[in-house]
Every structure is written in structure tokens, then in C-alpha cells.
Amino acid sequence: MSIPVILDVDTGVDDALAILFAVRHPDIDVLGITCVAGNAPLAQVVDNTLRVLDAAEAPEIPVAAGAVRPLLEPPRSASHVHGADGLGGVALPPTTRRAEPVGAVELMRRLLLEHDEPVTLVALAPQTNLALLLRTYPEVGSRIERIVFMGGSASVGNATAVAEFNVWHDPEAAAIVLDAGVPCYMYGLDVFNHVAIERDVATILEHGDDRLGRVVGALLGHRIALSEDESAEYTGLIGDAGAICAIVDPGALRTQVRPVRVELAGYGRGQTLVDLRRFPGEDVVHGLADEWAEVEIALEVDAERMSRLFLTTLGLGAGADATADAAATAAADLEVER
């Protein structure tokens, strides 16, 4: 089973992990990657994406630059999370790969029309490119199997108390995508925040013999500048990579199809409102419930199963087992010596 996908990214530490996973997983066929401003400015996102493809020893995969900013909002990069370079300071070698001479919307349209079966769009970033595609060429909707997006939340926010970064960064774009009539799968913070690699494993990978393991370990170990407490800085989240894992192993998640809309006004701007009620309320009874999109929402995840899938796909599963055991032995030895 090979699933054709187009990735839309704002590479980004966790976008990098997602690209590495997608390129390496045998059931994923990456037709192309489109870039958008988000975690970092667009030019940096493109350069990071090309370098990550080198790190993955990926075949030639077309990469195109898209929107330099959201539809309405100014660009607001997440350098406090992903660092000034967007890759958490993980220095990947310069690349000879080059972006396509066409823009993201044109590349997505070409790949969707050329492919012999519908393609899964995987949005791991603000959805500006997808909104522009669907507004410019609405007819490509029939060529899209579904949109799997990392974004939103049925609970806690991150960019604000209630809004997740990708949707908050370009809420109009997210609203346009949900309104386009294409089946959507939301891999939001409800699951995104729970899939992490243990700090010991990341540290040992970073200093191990495996070249890719060193890159993955360094990316996992990047520090979030905001927190004051040193121990709080390590997250180890596989982040966007989880959305790709959800495509190849949907059984690792519990989902529900629920009404969703994007709040566009007030402090809640960028929040994904997810209707989890068992019964309709007065809004429905009195005809006040306007258009909501029916979206498959990932609500729970088997984090250990997904972390294992991530590491084994990158050829790091055995290493992680061995390294974790080695870490435990080393720690025990140290305890003995003290």
C-alpha cells in the first residue's frame, strides 16, 4: 500500500522530523513538498526543507516556495520555539538541491492533476498555501483524497490560551480549507502534545554512531527559549511527525467526526471550536448554528506505539532499545561508583 502525499511545511524542527519520517516510511510516497512562512520566514523554510531532504538521503522530490505571509495577518515566526534558523540550531550541511521555478500552488495543482489517483494533502503549517490553492483552482478538490492537518485543538492552545499556532497564524486560511468540502482529519494538540521521545534516548541518539540518529537526536533535544526552568525545556515531542504516523497507523489514535469551525474574532481568534456535545443544544433548536464542517478529530493517542513507529521507521528503534538499556546500565554503574 503506497499512499501518495504532498507535504505543506514551515520547516521547523518538527516539520523536519515529519519529512524524515515520511521520506523513510515505505507506505508513504512523497510526491512533493510545498513551503509556507510560519515557524520561520519563507526563504529559511525552503532552505531548511532542502537540507532536511539531504539529511534523509531522499530522492529528488520537488520543493516549491509558497506564501510569504498569512492571508491577512503579518508573518509572526516562532523563533522562540524553533530558533532563529528554524531548526533549533541544528546545523545541517548546505545543499545543492534547489526549489522548483514554480510556486507552491502551481506545484500542488500539477501534482494533483498528474497523479493517477487522489492524493492526501498533509498540512503541517499555517494553511495559507492550501487556501490559495482551493480558492484559485477549486476543481482540484476532486483530486484530493483528504487533508490531514496538524493544527487546532479541542482543548488547550499553544500560540494563545485557546488557539494552536498553525491555525492561529492564518485563521482565515484554516476556515477556507474547512469550508472547501474536502474530507479533513485534524491532528491537533490533543494528541500532538503527548507523543515524545525520552530525553535519555534523544541524548544517546545525538551522540551515537548513526548519522541520521544524530540529526534526529539533536532535533528532539532542541531547547525552547521561553521556559525559565532548565528541566522544563526538553520536550522531545515528535510534533508534526505524528500527523504522518497517524496516516500509516491510524489504529494508534482514537478519533471522532465532529462539527468544527474556526473562530475569527475576539481573543479567541484562531481557536478551533470543536462541538463534542452528545446532544444538540439551543443553537441548533433555535436555528442559530451556522455552518460547521464535519471533521475527523484525533482525540487520544497510544503515545508509546506512535513513538515506537517513529523510531523504528527511522531505523532507530533497536538503537533506542539498546541505548536506553545502555543508558540505564551506565547510570547504574555511575551509581555504583559514587
Interacting residues toward ligand RIB by CB under 6 A: 10, 12, 14-15, 38-39, 124-125, 150, 158, 164-166, 239-240
Angle between helix 13-24 and helix 42-55 axes, rounded to 10 deg: 40
151 binds Ca ion (CB under 5 A): no
Tell me, residue by residue from 100 to 129, as one string, x for binding to Ca ion by CB under 5 A and - for no binding. ------------------------xx----
Tell me, residue by residue from 239 to 278, as one string, x for binding to Ca ion by CB under 5 A and - for no binding. -x--------------------------------------
Q: How many residues does the chain have?
A: 338
Output the nine-digit C-alpha cell for 51: 537540507
Measure the CA–CA gap between 137 and 80, rounded to whole angstroms: 35
Which residue in the block uniquely carries the three cell numbers 505524528? 242
Nearer to Ca ion, 15 or 190 (CB): 15
Taking the CA atoms of residue 184, residue 185, residue 189 and residue 193 in that order, the dihedral angle to the nearest 10 degrees is -150
Helix (H) or strand (E) holding 207: none
Q: For residue 287, what is the DSSP state?
A: T
Output the nine-digit C-alpha cell for 22: 515520511
Query: Using CB under 5 A, which of 5, 6, 12, 129 touches Ca ion?
Result: 12
Residues 6+ positions from 192 with CB-CB distance below 8 Å: 150, 164, 237, 239, 242
10 binds Ca ion (CB under 5 A): yes
Please report the sign of the dihedral spanned by the C-alpha atoms of residue 27, residue 7, residue 22, residue 56.
positive
Measure the CA–CA gap between 56 and 24, rounded to whole angstroms: 7
Nearer to Ca ion, 239 or 319 (CB): 239
Nearer to ligand RIB, 272 or 323 (CB): 272
Measure the CA–CA gap between 34 and 274, rounded to whole angstroms: 28
Q: Please, what is the minimum distance in Å from the beta carbon of residue 330 to ligand RIB?
A: 33
165 binds, among Ca ion, ligand RIB, none (CB under 5 to 8 A by kind): ligand RIB
Phi, psi of 41 (to 5 degrees): -60, 155
296 binds, among ligand RIB, Ca ion, none (CB under 5 to 8 A by kind): none
Nearer to ligand RIB, 39 or 323 (CB): 39
Nearer to ligand RIB, 14 or 190 (CB): 14
8 binds Ca ion (CB under 5 A): no
Nearer to ligand RIB, 44 or 323 (CB): 44
103 binds, among Ca ion, ligand RIB, none (CB under 5 to 8 A by kind): none
Q: What SS3 state is found at 218?
A: helix
Which residue in the block uniquely carries the three cell numbers 499556532? 165
Output the nine-digit C-alpha cell for 19: 519529512
15 binds Ca ion (CB under 5 A): yes
Q: Please, what is the minimum distance in Å from the beta carbon of residue 237 to ligand RIB?
A: 9
Nearer to ligand RIB, 12 or 236 (CB): 12
Q: Which residues bind Ca ion (CB under 5 A)?
A: 10, 12, 15, 124-125, 240
